[in-house]
Structure 1
Amino acid sequence: MANEAKPANEALARLTRLDRAAILLMSLGEKDAAEILKHMGPKEVQRVGTAMATLTNVNQTQVEGVVAEFLEAVSGQTGMGLGSDAYIRNMLTQALGNDKAGALIDRILLGGNTTGLDSLKWMESRQVADLIRHEHPQIQAIVVSYLDPDQSAEILSNFNEKVRLDIVMRVAALEAVQPAALQELNDILERQFSGKAGAQTTSIGGVKTAANIVNFVDSSIAADLLDQIKEVDEDLGIQIQDLMFVFDNLVDIDDRGIQILLREVSTDLLVVALKGADPQVQDKIFRNMSKRAAELLRDDLEAKGPVRVSEVEGAQKEILTIARRLADAGEIVLGGGGEAMM
């Protein structure tokens, strides 16, 4: 029995938590899977759905292990949360086939709880961009302000430089929208999709929102965009830059993300960057290293002589560049810039 358990455990260990969630959903009937997915938000649906579509060579032992693990861990509650319209349609069709996917897609993507504006959160960013492309720039700014910053950044990437600049400047200038105007926009969108009237949010936009969005824009585009904003309004550009993801925001990255980041950063660079870092950032780094590695890093920090501020800032910027690259590749999530400021 022990020999049989070991291969089973090894087979299960090879699966990520996302893979296990996908296997569990695919093990359920269409109705039950749909009920679970209805309680998830767009981004999590996309992540789980992608895993469902890409899983290959899953054996019976792994399926049984995932189900057994779930039954052991569950304690009377379930919950999840995050997705994207056309993407989900294609993914579910690949995973389940046309017939089975049909009913599931209808229930998940355009269910009874999505309002007009909220429906955009379930759409592919390119679709949203096409939908608002010929709207007044102020409408574009309101829509971009309303959505999550990472989705808004993707939407912006579908516009040219001039339009991107105009939208971000308008987002930064937004403070509040009259309820009637927001409701009218919601109703227009709702007639194109489905759902119930609602949208009571009136305080959207602002410099923080603009900074959150620029945080998620591709690094090369973000740099150009900031330069363009400063040309039009230098003070605003500086405000946005100051509110974007900075070195101290590393404390907001989850532990797994920090560990991934540390694998890409040399010790010499880390020592210089941490020389002038906030103690919380230092503690975050130490906690995500082995005990031995943390001790060596502390010794290196103590042995390091005085370092110019410009050198510290340069090292920190290099690490932030690496963090942005990893975030662009989907390997880590920069939680501080996009979420802590909301």
Structure 2
Amino acid sequence: MTMLIEPAELKRYSGIERAATLMLVLGKEHGAPIWDNLSVEEIKELSAAMASLGRVPASVAEHLLGSFANEVSGMNSLHGSFETTERLLEGLLPGEKVREIMEDIRGPAGRTMWDKLSNVSETVLAGYLKNEYPQTVAVILSKLKADHAARVLSKLPRDNAVDVVQRMLRMETVQKDVLLQVEQTLRSEFMNNLSRAQRRDPHEAMAEVFNAMDRSTEEAMLGALDHASPDSAERIRSLMFTFEDLGKLMPTAIAAIVRVADKRQMALALKGAPTGIRDLFMGTMTERSAKLMREDMAGMGPVRARDCEEAQNGLVRLAKQLADSGEIMLNDPKNDDAMIA
């Protein structure tokens, strides 16, 4: 931090006069954000002080500006986050406006809806559009950049994609009111849900940590948390995705896991798995692949339970990776309905 020598003239200035001088130095452009955060009474008091300042020596103005800069640079840190930003805005703007701004901030970047959509993963966007009417999809894709539209089309079911392409070929100029309606629907049904999905619950992060633990440690930690913070323990349990939860997935999701999993790891995981989950995995394989898998499992002989658990945790991590990339959807822990993208 730079040491500033206080000019002798500074002693003549009161606190409000020093503040008034600093605001004059900052000027309209740099001082505007500060003025915006002052009350009417504070503005009146500061304005009156400015009006009666008269000539201010350059040394005083320079010292005040330097002191202000040093105070800011001397802070240990300023913590900017979604939460602190939202709290600040709530003190300045109406609630509905704050929600709209925060949803825009949390969602994909871009000035227009079409800019924002261009920054959404093609897998995520295709997952939403596949349930929309093909004509609506055609309108949306016609507004995207060609390379992004191509990637989205490649992620749609083939028949659906062909239908959309044909509609795009026949499409005439889209009326402005139709575009506005589509934009509004995208904002209310897609962007808002996407921005909410990106908010990070600390219990979700902790559930991932617990998922990575071996079962004895996990049970001991959750047991201790039951006594210290039962609500948190219950919340973490509801968010954890375990190997047993794989049994709730649709066969098509299991098939996607089987397709990319390490075969040795999968054999080890299934060797210690409940019969129902083992049958579910085997049922997605070809007869030959299932036969080879059973032979691999039999050839292992006795294995440690800990090794089976580690292999099962590996399959759980793989399932989460596939879900993150949009290839499969894991069922919501609060919902009994299993889903597949």
Query: Which structure would you say has the larger Rg?
Result: 2
Normalising by the residue count of structure 2, what TM-score does the alignment of the two structures yield?
0.42
